[in-house]
Amino acid sequence: MTERTWQNRILGESRNVSVATNALIMATGNNLAFAGDMTRRAIMCRMDAGIENPERRSFDVDLKTWVPAHRVRLVAAGSRSCAHSSAPGGPGLKRLTPFGSF
């Protein structure tokens, strides 16, 4: 999205709504593939919990309260990880080739 907000009319009503476009969209699945413009707008990662049924894991903390309480630190760590990957000498950069865009 190129604008700070997106506006549209609610179907069946005669009023407009405005929504901020600073969103993070996440997807999970098997054998995901991105095409076209999405290939440069997505970050793929592989997560392995090391167990057969990761959805059954238990943690020492309640993640529903811990994650929001530590959001700033988590976002900063994710940003540093992305910055490190794209910095000169970062992993995989030698395999990238330049591409044009608008």
Cα torsion angle, 30, 80, 37, 3, sign: positive
Tens of pLDDT, residue by residue over 42-89, are 777 777 888 999 888 888 999 999 999 999 999 888 888 777 776 777
Q: Is-contact 42 34, C-beta < 8 A?
A: yes
pTM of the predicted protein model: 0.46
Tens of pLDDT, residue by residue over 4-54, are 898 999 899 999 999 888 877 777 888 888 888 787 777 777 778 889 998
Beta pairing, strands 5-9 & 16-20: antiparallel
